[in-house]
Amino acid sequence: MLFWGLSFIWSSLLLDFYQPVTIIFIRLIISSVFLFALIFFLGKHEKVARKDYRLILLSALFNPFLYFLGENYGLKYSSPTIAAVIIATIPVFSPLIAYLTFHEELTPVNYVGIAISFAGVILMLITPDLSLAADIRGVVFLFGAVVAALLYTVALRSLTKKYSAIVLVANQNLIGIFFFLPFFLLFEAKSAIAVPLTREIVTSMLLLAILASSVSFVFFAHSVKLLGISKSNIFSNLIPVFTAIFSYFLLSESFTLQKITGIGLVIGGVYLSERTRKLN
C-alpha cells in the first residue's frame, strides 16, 4: 500500500512528459522483464493449465488494462490525493461484490460504512462553493478503475489457489503489454520517442515498474491467497494517507482541513464496511 500510494506521485511526475498509455506500456514491459527474470533465478516457474488461460486473460483485461487506463487518465484530470481517495473506496464496494459472488452477508453497519465513505469522497471532490474540485472526467475514469479492480479481485481469488502470486502477476502484466500495444503504436509512439530521457523520468518509471507494478501486486496477490479478498482490501485505506503525506512533501500539494476530514471519513467508512461483515 505504501508503494501504491507513492505510485500516484510517480505517475503524476511522468504525466508531465508522457501520455497515460505510454507510461503504462513502458512500466509493464519493465515489470514483466523483472518478474520473469526473478521467476527464472528463483526457480519458481509453474506451468499454467490450458483451461486457466481464459481466466488469466480475463483478469489481465481487468488489471492491468482497464484498471490502469482508469487510474492514469483519472490522475491526468485530478490530483494524486483525490485519485488515491477514490481508489481507496475499493474495499467499500468489496462487501457488495462478496455478497453477489460469494454469498457473504451484509449488515446494517456495512451500509452505514459505505455511506460514510461516500460522504468522505464527496467532501474531497467539492470546494467550499460546492463546485467540483476535480475534473468530472477524472472522477469517471477513477471510478471505472475501482470497478475494474473489484472484478479483478474476484478473478484473482480462484487463481491464487492454483498458482503463486509472482507467476500470476508476471503473466497478467505480459498479457497487458499486448492489450496496450496497438493504442501505444497508433496514438502515442511518436510523441513518446520525442521525449528526452532524464534522471527523473528513468527513476520514476523504474520505481513504478518494479515497486508498484511488480512487488506490490505480488504482495497483494499473496495476501488475497492468505487472507481473502475482504481482509486484504481493508489495507487499501492506507493508500490515500501515504499519497496525501508524500504529495505534501514532494509535490507541495495543499493539505487542508477539508481534505484531512475527507480522508478520515473514507478510512472510517471502510473500517465500518468491513468490520462487522460475516460469512453465511
**pLDDT tens digits for range 224-279:** 778 776 667 777 777 887 888 888 888 888 777 887 888 888 788 777 766 654 44
Residues 104, 96: Cα–Cα separation, whole Å: 8
What local confidence, expressed as pLDDT, does residue 79 receive? Answer: 86
- Give 151's contacts (C-beta < 8 A, 6+ positions apart): 62, 97
Q: Of the candidates 30, 70, 50, which has an alpha carbon nearest to the alpha carbon of residue 208? A: 30
pLDDT for 160-181, tens place per residue?
888 888 999 999 999 999 999 9
For range 197-213, the mean pLDDT: 95
For range 93-99, the mean pLDDT: 72
CB 91 within 8 A of CB 153: no
| Cα angle value 191/64/271 (rounded, 5°) | 125
Burial of 128 (0-12, 13-18, 19+ CB in 10 A): exposed
* CA 56 to the chain's CA centroid: 18
Angle at which helices 80-87 and 257-275 cross, to 10°: 10
For range 179-204, the mean pLDDT: 96
Across-strand partners of 132?
126
